[in-house]
Structure 1
Amino acid sequence: MLRRTLRRRRVLAMVGVMAAGAAGALGPVAGSAAAQDTDSDLVKIRVATYNIHHAAGPDDVLDVAHTAKVLSSMHADVIGLQEVDRHWGERSDFADQARELAERLDMYAVYGANLDLDPAEPGQERRQYGTAILSRSPITSWSNTYLPKFGNHEQRGLLVANLKVRGVAMRVANTHLQHNDNLEREAQAAAIVELLGSDPRRTLLTGDLNALPGTPEIATLTNVFADAWAEVGEGAGPTYPVENPVSRIDYVLGSRDLVFRHAEVVPTDASDHLPLFVDLLVRR
């Protein structure tokens, strides 16, 4: 009971959001080059990204334990999650999924509510849907900023967390871009660059970007950030759909001062996407 209480204290559930356009301000692989590096000035970090599809597989059956097992297997220091429910509805048992996953993994969490609806019944929790960041290190501050939205499309956001990994200050951003409008994604990518800066340092961007490499929206981001898979991944690295992966739409991007050493897509049926983790080095 005490352990569960301690875990609850570690979870920083984020509810609020910032207005659109508001000013906004990351376990080595055994045998990898990163694991063999002995330079004491370099810190090894593993970051992952996963669209969890509200913890349901392609069969749409809810299984939070399965999702947590997949996340645990990656041994990541920081994880960006997309499609995370918070008291959303029956499909996820009205659970706070960011909190539940953080408790299962003994990690800290912040949550960005991009959809925020009135409760189903008076007195209940607000129904929210969005993104989350899980971290093994304490999160010192966070923000969630709405991204440009066209017409009646789903609101998207950029969740940013500041934290220290083994004593190194890092900024981790996580997003989920519009799925059916490339012009809207271009506007959202431009807003992300504006929020994170055109010359960022010690910054990671994870997310389901809903766009293939080489598209204008991805080019907007890779003009500023390095694409981990393009640098160190093997093969095409498709992450969607899980039944027959053909499209690489999930990304880990990083500022130019980070050194990517390994990238890997994890085979699993816990969602309709496949997760991706990346090992990198950052100088103290």
Structure 2
Amino acid sequence: MFNPWWSFTATLCVVKTPARRAGAVLSALTLAALAVAPAQAAPAPLRVATYNIHAGAGEDGVYDLDRTAAALRDLHADVIGLEEVDVHWGERSGFADEARELAARLHLRVFFAPIYDLDPAAAGEPRRQYGVAILSRLPVLDRENHEITRLSTQDPDPVPAPAPGFAEVVVNVRGTHVHFYCTHLDYRQDPAVRARQVDDMLAVLGEDRGPKVLVGDFNADAAAPELAPLWTQLRDAAPGGAPTYPADVPVSRIDLVTVSPDVRVSSAHTVDTGDIPASDHRPVVADVRLR
């Protein structure tokens, strides 16, 4: 702790030779400055994850949100991006608000970003929504549901058009503001829509400053040509990592955690959720440090 009296007495004890006086005064001022200067902060640790929860249905096709919550709890992550999240969507998930229910079970904050927002099945019931969500144990400073190009699955004759469902939150990690994004890209074999989605996402990221983490179900391997522009601004947290899909015998690594250059990756791995996987995807977890 800085003691102003100590600094003052140290200055008074200088020998009266001009050159030595100047050097001693400088030394005393330096010591005083060091006494009040904070130590350089250590890199802040952060555990992030992505998990396509398959609307709460396991690889066995059984809907079980408790099983989904247990798989998420075992990740021990600070911030998690979720894909294929139902909110009052339909019979397959019992018209549950999966985003809020999972957040309540895990005691986490939640931001839900619908891709589809449809009229209720009956008058007076909640709107039917489907999209992505972000769970966070850290304070959320800001949130936004961005639009990117999509080819609707609800339209019998769809055309590529802007639509919501690209989620962003800003979380406070020991005073550092981190932009965390969650995405779910087009699943079709033709990569054209995914290529446009990548461009749209990069435009959103380009508007933000500071550390960035982008996670999600990209429906393409990291080496796919349509994802190549991502690697001009981000890097894959788990290059050469284990595959994520399908969960029982995975052969493709389409679920990715990516980070900006100012985020250091300590470790990253694909998680095996057990003999009866809680989803048809496996989650990916990464431990990172913020400079």
Q: TM-score, normalised by structure 1?
A: 0.81
Moved over 6 A (4+): none
> Deviation at 1:238?
0.3
SS in 2 for 1:270: coil
Q: Which runs of 5+ in 1 are unaligned?
A: 1-38
CA deviation digits over 1:241-282, x for unaligned, max 9? 112101000000011000001001110200000000000100
Q: 2:241·2:269 contact (CA, 8 Å) conserved in 1?
A: no
Q: Which residue of 1 aligns with 2:268?
A: 263
Q: How does 1:53-202 map onto structure 2 within 5 Å?
A: 53-150=54-151, 152=158, 157-180=165-188, 181-197=190-206, 201-202=210-211
Tell me which amino acid in the other structure corresponds to 1:90. Answer: E
Larger radius of gyration: 2
**Matches of 1:276 and 1:243 in 2, distance apart?**
15
Query: Is 1:213 aligned with 2:193?
Result: no
Tell me: CA distance 1:156–1:218, structure 2 relative to 1, closer, same or farther (3 Å): farther
- The number of residues matched between the two structures is 241
CA contact (8 A) 2:171 2:178 kept: yes
Asked if 1 retains the 8 angstrom alpha-carbon contact of 2:114 and 2:164, the reply is: no
State the partner residue of 2:29: none
Taking only aligned residues, the RMSD between alpha carbons, in angstroms, comes to 1.7
Task: Give yes or no for contact 2:177–2:210 (8 Å, CA) kept in 1.
Answer: no
Pair 1:119–1:93, CA change in 2 (3 A): same
CA distance in 1, matches of 2:90, 2:218: 25
Aligned partners of 1:199 and 1:106: how far apart in 2? 28
Is the CA contact 1:111–1:132 (under 8 Å) kept in the aligned structure 2? Answer: yes
Could you say if the C-alpha distance between residues 199 and 99 of structure 1 is closer, same or farther in structure 2, counting changes exceeding 3 Å? closer
Long gaps (5+) in structure 2? 1-39, 152-156
Separation in 2, partners of 1:97, 1:166: 29
Amino acid at match of 1:270: A
* TM-score normalised per structure 2: 0.79
